[in-house]
Amino acid sequence: MHLARYPRRFIAHLPTPLERMDRLSKELGGPEIWIKRDDCTGLSTGGNKTRKLEFLMAEAEMEGADVVITQGATQSNHARQTAAFAAKLGLQCHLLLEDRTGSNNANYKNNGNVLLDHLHGATTETRPGGADMAAEMEAVAEKMRATGKKVYTIPGGGSNPTGALGYVNCAYELLGQVNNSGTKIDHIVHATGSAGTQAGLITGLKATNANIPLLGIGVRAPKAKQEENVYNLAVKTAEKLGCAGVVSREDVVANTDYVGEGYGIPTAGGMEAIQMFAELESILLDPVYSAKGAAGLIDLIRKGYFKKGERVVFIHTGGAAALFGYDAAFDFSGRWVAN
C-alpha cells in the first residue's frame, strides 16, 4: 500500500502519541487500556477530521478551488477543522450547520466549535434539524458556481474514499507504533459517526492482514444502518487503493447501544466517561462522540467483553472544543466551596 501516490497537504501533527492509561485501567480492573491521541492532531484543538482533510484539501487545491463548503451539526468538529484548514491554505470556507438537537442554549449555538468556525473566518448558515444537508449544500454550491466561484464540496464528516485515506494511514501509523515497541494489541475501539474513520481503519487493518478486531461505538444511526454505511465506504476505499475485496461484511462491527436519546444529546454514561477521563487521565472527551465511545468502552469492560491481560486501544477522535457549547450539561454545584 502506497499512500504517497495520493495528493496530500501535510498539516497534522503526526504520529499522534500512543499512551497507556494506568489509572483508568486500574479503576476498571479489566484489560490494559491504551489511547491513541488523535485529539492531538494539532489543527485548532485537533481531532480526527484533520487526517481526512489532509487528502481532501489537497484535492481541492489540485482542482483549483477558491471556496470549500461543508456541512454538519451546529457543534460540528468537522466544520471547525475544515474552517481552520481552509484558513491555512488561504481558501474561503462556507459552512452549513444543521440544528440537529433543537437546543436553544446560547453557548451551544455560539460558543465551542461555532466560535472557532467564525474565528477562522468561515461564513455560516443554519438549517433546521432533519434537513437534507447534502442536497442543501449542493444547492448552495450551485448558487456560488453561478457567480463564477470554483467550489469544492466536502461531504459531512469528510467521509468519502478520499477522506477515508487519512484513517487507512492511521491504521498503518498505529501498527508501526505497536510493532516497533513490541506492544501486542488485542482490540481497537473508537466512536463512529459519518463512517469515514471506521471505514479507513478497517481497510488499513485488513489490507495489512493485522488481524486486530475493530469496534465502532455508534453515536447516531442504528446498528444495521451504521455497519452498512461503514462497509459501503470501506469497499470504495479499498477500490481506490487498488485492493478491492479486502474488507468483508463481518469485519465491520458497530455497537450502537450508547447513542441514548439521539445524536448530540448527552447521556449519563457519556458524562461519567468525561469525568473519569478528566479526573483519572487528564484527558478531555466531548459529549457528542468521544464520550459515547468511551462510555461503550467502559460499559463493555464492566461486562467482561474484554479480558484481563488483553490490551485495548481507544482511538480518541477529539471534540473537546464542543465542551464549551455543552457547559449546561454539567452540574458542578457540589464542588463549589462557600467562602
Ligand X SMILES: *Cc1c(COP(=O)(O)O)cnc(C)c1O
**Footprint on this chain of ligand X (rule: CB under 6 A):** 47-48, 77-78, 157, 159, 191-198, 286, 289-290, 317-319
Taken as a whole, the chain contains a residue count of 339
With respect to ligand X, which residue has the nearer C-beta, 77 or 203?
A: 77
* CA-to-CA separations, 126 to 194, 305, 333, in angstroms, rounded: 19, 41, 33
With respect to ligand X, which residue has the nearer C-beta, 169 or 290?
A: 290
Q: At what angle do helices 223-241 and 196-207 cross, to 10 degrees?
A: 50
**What is the nearest approach in angstroms of ligand X to the Cβ of residue 189?**
12
With respect to ligand X, which residue has the nearer C-beta, 169 or 192?
A: 192
Residue pair 102/75 in contact (Cβ under 8 Å)? The answer is no
With respect to ligand X, which residue has the nearer C-beta, 84 or 144?
A: 84
**What is the nearest approach in angstroms of ligand X to the Cβ of residue 159?**
5
Distance, in Å, from the CA atom of 164 to the CA atom of 155, rounded to the nearest integer, reads 12
Q: Which residues pair with 304 in a beta bridge?
A: none
Distance, in Å, from the CA atom of 256 to the CA atom of 21, rounded to the nearest integer, reads 24
Of 76, 103, 159, 290, the catalytic one is: 76
* CA-to-CA separations, 243 to 107, 174, 180, 237, 251, in angstroms, rounded: 45, 20, 25, 9, 15
Residue 311, phi then psi, degrees to nearest 5: -115, 130
**What is the nearest approach in angstroms of ligand X to the Cβ of residue 153?**
17
Asked if 76 is an active-site residue, the reply is yes
**What is the nearest approach in angstroms of ligand X to the Cβ of residue 79?**
10
Catalytic residue ranges = 76
